[in-house]
Amino acid sequence: MDFFSSERLDSLNKIFRINLINSITGYKSANLLGTISKKGIENLAIFSSVTHLGSNPALLSFFVRPNVVPRNTYKNIKEKKFFTVNHISKEKISDAHHTSAKYDEDISEFDKTSFQSEYKNNWEAPFVKDSAVQLGCKYLNEYKIRENGCSLIVASIEIIFIREGLLQNDGWVELSKGNVVTVNGLDAYALPKTIKRFKYARPK
């Protein structure tokens, strides 16, 4: 097996280290966060850190990197409080990845990709049209990570849209039927396949 000590990690090439640390924890969610600025400019950015915090109340969270450079998504969420989380399909991974490019705040990623925005239920942020799962979220709080300067954003899930055929009778959403992708590291996309569902585990 390849072995890395903390001393070896410190000596690694920057890009090698970034790729290594970002991929060793396993597959991550891949989502497009939609926001709109005070000027009315729509923003779309891919995130791989969105995760649920609980179902009652319905909460999710994601990390933003240190604000040493402008972060349009973060700025829009702090100013407007509302954003959307949109799942990515296999057919859209190239455009989804392109949203990680650093555009000026006056340029919308919707204009630089094939994604189309849509507004519904009077939600104040753009959804990605045709996304299999769309969440309307509201900013609640953030927590600074002192060790590296990141921030953990906490938001409530206010509205949910799920493509027909994905929602099962017990509330489970079968994402594999929607060709929803995941990400390994920073730039490798994968298509998960459901192997088996198990009943609630109890002591033997």
pLDDT band per the 50, 70, 90 thresholds, residue 71: confident
Whether the predicted pLDDT of 169 surpasses 80? yes
- pLDDT tens, residue by residue, 9-41: 999 999 999 999 999 999 999 999 999 999 999
Q: Which pLDDT value is given to residue 70?
A: 73
Mean pLDDT taken over the chain: 96
Q: Which pLDDT value is given to residue 65?
A: 84
Strands (E), the chain: 28-29, 31-36, 42-47, 51-55, 58-64, 82-87, 117-118, 127-128, 133-144, 151-162, 182-184, 188-190
* CATH code for the domain defined by 25-190: 2.30.110.10
* pTM, rounded to two decimals: 0.95
- pLDDT tens, residue by residue, 78-106: 999 999 999 999 999 999 999 999 999 99
* Percent of the chain with pLDDT strictly greater than 70: 98
